[in-house]
């Protein structure tokens, strides 16, 4: 058990950082100091009491990153309730399913997500964010409680809410504080029971690493409804006195780069997709110019060129960050090699929702190429289910402070997730040297060739995604051969005037280029162009099961 009580961490830090800026909505009018944030949390605590919410009750929350979202999340866990953050990208039926499955007693939702929901299927009070107005209720008592809520707050704190008034619920670290659903699909709901200790393990370890300091700035653009963004962009940052700016819009390259230039964060927390796009759209075109290719062959000149690209990229991303942390999925090997050669300050970590989320990490100056960091010392343990863990891939299994309590109301799935001796089965295949993890791919996606060779499609896809006009791809087995499904770069094709016939010819060239760089048993027989973008998980990983 982590010594630091998770909930008390915020009680202490809100008092300590009372006058410092805490949360700001990018391009919005809302900005809160830590004191103002604490006051808004106290208002919601009173509302919860008026509505009869008890300790341990679940409160559902749907919306994009926004200050009101952050206030609801913090108010719920510091009250002693269980927060149920639902990704705004889930379809309405999935949202209803999660609200029901989680036994939520109250729903906070942005109107954009509320409109498509069948209101008749929601039998609990519904409150709009960011206005905090009641939009659906089933009894008169709820309406009366809501009407007297704000007036009662002013009666309790006639001279205003002060730092001495902060008193949060007594929540033991072994209690569940969050239900995070990995999928909203009916029949497949898996609500990960995250305890206060799980979050405390992640947050206190980040403090040990000194990733952020009081007064630093951070831009939160990953969805905070997903545990990766929630743990580090939000919970860790606010426990460290950091000023968090919430992007609150789709992180397109233009939106993201503009925000990074304005906020100039001290740390960037992101997923591989963002940096793979930067590499493909900004770095690769420069390196592929004929003149540049010639200069790169001159001894000593290559590093000078890469240093200049590195300097320009750092400036483009705000110029003030100490390092970039990439997690949530595997980083393309070619992209990683280029950034490492450039001496760009980045590192790759590894985790999963069931570990809230961190399993392994190294600072950028300790990062070992192709690895995903070292298993968290003193917090987590890992082992490889293999007779030769350093050389022969096997399932990565973990245990420690960050491991979930189980899946809510799903004892069978919980049993299946753990080994008989209590280790969490990650479903990822890899090797471990010392404490450093090297991931090969998902066990379920591994393809066994006719000759008994293990094929990891992610490794082939990583190379294919860097070829001409390939936006994303999936390698799937078909009748003892490999076929690559490719969603092309639609905008680039249109701007370059590429015809369908020309695109087919380019894909044949891509296939030939790819097959020259992979093992014979990994060669693909055909590239099949798909017309729609692949469906993705909250981590922006392709839902592979839909296409195999």
What pLDDT sits at residue 545? Answer: 74
* pLDDT single digits (tens) 346-396: 999 999 999 999 999 999 999 999 999 999 999 999 999 999 999 999 999
What pLDDT sits at residue 186? Answer: 41
**CB count in 10 Å sphere of residue 261:** 13
User: Is 6-196's fold the same as 268-320+323-443's?
Assistant: yes
3-state DSSP helix/strand/coil % of the chain, to nearest 5: 40, 25, 40
Distance (Å, rounded) from C-alpha 475 to C-alpha 480?
Answer: 13
Distance (Å, rounded) from C-alpha 126 to C-alpha 104?
Answer: 11
CB 269 within 8 A of CB 251: no
Residues 6+ apart with CB under 8 A from 302: 295, 296
Show me where the domains of the chain are located.
6-196, 268-320+323-443, 446-546
What pLDDT sits at residue 296? Answer: 86
Closest by CA position to 316, among listed 397, 258, 229, 243: 258
Distance (Å, rounded) from C-alpha 143 to C-alpha 308?
Answer: 62
The tens-digit pLDDT sequence of the chain (548 residues) is 999 999 999 999 999 999 999 999 999 889 999 999 999 999 999 999 999 999 999 999 999 999 999 999 999 999 999 999 999 888 898 899 999 999 999 999 999 999 999 999 999 999 999 999 999 998 899 999 998 998 999 999 999 999 999 999 999 999 999 999 976 444 456 899 999 999 999 999 999 999 999 999 999 999 999 999 999 999 999 999 999 999 999 888 889 999 999 999 999 999 888 888 899 888 998 988 888 888 888 888 999 999 999 999 999 999 999 999 999 877 888 899 999 999 999 999 999 999 999 999 999 999 999 999 999 999 999 999 999 999 999 999 999 999 999 999 999 999 999 999 999 999 999 999 999 999 988 787 878 665 567 788 888 998 899 999 999 999 998 888 999 999 999 999 999 999 999 999 999 999 999 999 887 878 999 999 999 999 877 667 788 878 87
What pLDDT sits at residue 185? Answer: 45
What pLDDT sits at residue 441? Answer: 81
Instruction: Give the fold, CATH level 3, of 268-320+323-443.
Output: Rossmann fold (3.40.50)
Buried b (16+ CB within 10 A) or exposed e, 495-512: eeebeeeebeebbeebbe
What pLDDT sits at residue 134? Answer: 95
State the architecture of 446-546 in CATH terms: 2-Layer Sandwich (3.30)
Helix/strand/coil for 264? coil
What pLDDT sits at residue 539? Answer: 63
What pLDDT sits at residue 188? Answer: 55
CATH superfamily of 6-196: ANL, N-terminal domain (3.40.50.12780)
Its pTM stands at 0.85
């Amino acid at each position: 058990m982590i010594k630091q009580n998770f909930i008390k961490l915020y009680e202490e830090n809100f008092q300590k950082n009372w006058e410092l800026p805490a949360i700001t909505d990018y391009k919005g009018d809302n900005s809160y100091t830590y004191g103002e944030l604490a006051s808004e949390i106290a208002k919601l605590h009173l509302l919860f009491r008026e509505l009869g919410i008890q300790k341990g009750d679940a409160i559902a929350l749907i919306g994009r990153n926004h200050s009101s979202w952050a206030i609801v999340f913090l108010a719920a866990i510091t009250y002693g309730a269980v927060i149920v953050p639902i990704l705004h990208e889930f379809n309405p039926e999935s949202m209803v399913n999660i609200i029901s499955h989680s036994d939520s007693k109250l729903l906070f939702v942005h109107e954009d997500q509320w409109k498509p929901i069948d209101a008749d299927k929601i039998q609990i009070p519904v409150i709009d964010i960011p206005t905090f107005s009641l939009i659906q209720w089933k009894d008169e008592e709820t309406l009366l409680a809501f009407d007297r809520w704000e007036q009662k707050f002013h009666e309790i704190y006639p001279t205003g809410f002060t730092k001495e008034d902060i008193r949060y619920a007594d929540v033991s670290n072994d209690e569940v504080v969050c239900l995070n659903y990995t999928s909203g699909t009916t029949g497949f709901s898996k609500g990960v029971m995250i305890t206060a200790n799980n979050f405390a393990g992640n947050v206190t370890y980040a403090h040990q690493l000194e990733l952020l300091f009081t007064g630093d700035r951070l831009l939160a653009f990953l969805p905070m409804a997903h545990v990766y963004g929630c743990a580090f962009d939000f919970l860790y940052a606010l426990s460290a006195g950091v000023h968090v700016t919430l992007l609150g819009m789709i992180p397109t390259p233009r939106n993201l780069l503009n925000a990074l230039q304005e906020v100039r964060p001290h740390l960037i927390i992101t997923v591989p997709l963002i940096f793979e796009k930067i590499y493909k759209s900004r770095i690769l075109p420069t390196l592929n110019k004929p003149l540049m290719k010639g200069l790169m062959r001159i001894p000593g000149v290559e590093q000078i060129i890469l240093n200049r690209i590195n300097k320009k990229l750092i400036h483009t991303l705000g110029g003030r960050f100490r390092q970039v942390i990439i997690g949530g999925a595997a980083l393309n090997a070619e992209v990683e090699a280029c950034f490492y050669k450039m001496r760009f300050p980045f590192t790759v970590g590894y985790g999963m929702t069931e570990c809230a989320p961190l399993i392994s990490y190294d600072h950028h100056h300790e990062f070992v190429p192709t690895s995903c960091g070292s298993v968290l010392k003193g917090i987590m343990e890992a082992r490889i289910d293999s007779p030769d863990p350093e050389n022969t891939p096997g399932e990565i299994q973990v245990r420690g402070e960050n491991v979930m309590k189980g899946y809510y109301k799903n004892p069978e799935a919980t049993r299946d997730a753990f080994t008989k001796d209590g280790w969490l089965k990650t479903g990822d295949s890899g090797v471990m040297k010392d404490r450093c993890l090297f991931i090969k791919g998902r066990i379920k996606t591994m393809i066994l060739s006719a000759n008994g060779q293990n094929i990891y499609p992610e490794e082939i896809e990583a190379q294919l995604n860097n070829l001409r006009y390939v936006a994303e791809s999936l390698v799937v087995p078909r009748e003892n051969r490999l076929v690559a499904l490719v969603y092309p770069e639609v905008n680039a094709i249109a701007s370059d005037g590429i015809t369908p016939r020309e695109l087919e010819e380019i894909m044949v060239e891509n296939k030939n280029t790819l097959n020259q760089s992979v093992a014979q048993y990994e060669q693909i027989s055909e590239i099949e162009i798909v017309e729609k973008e692949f469906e993705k998980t909250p981590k922006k990983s392709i839902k592979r099961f839909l296409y195999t």
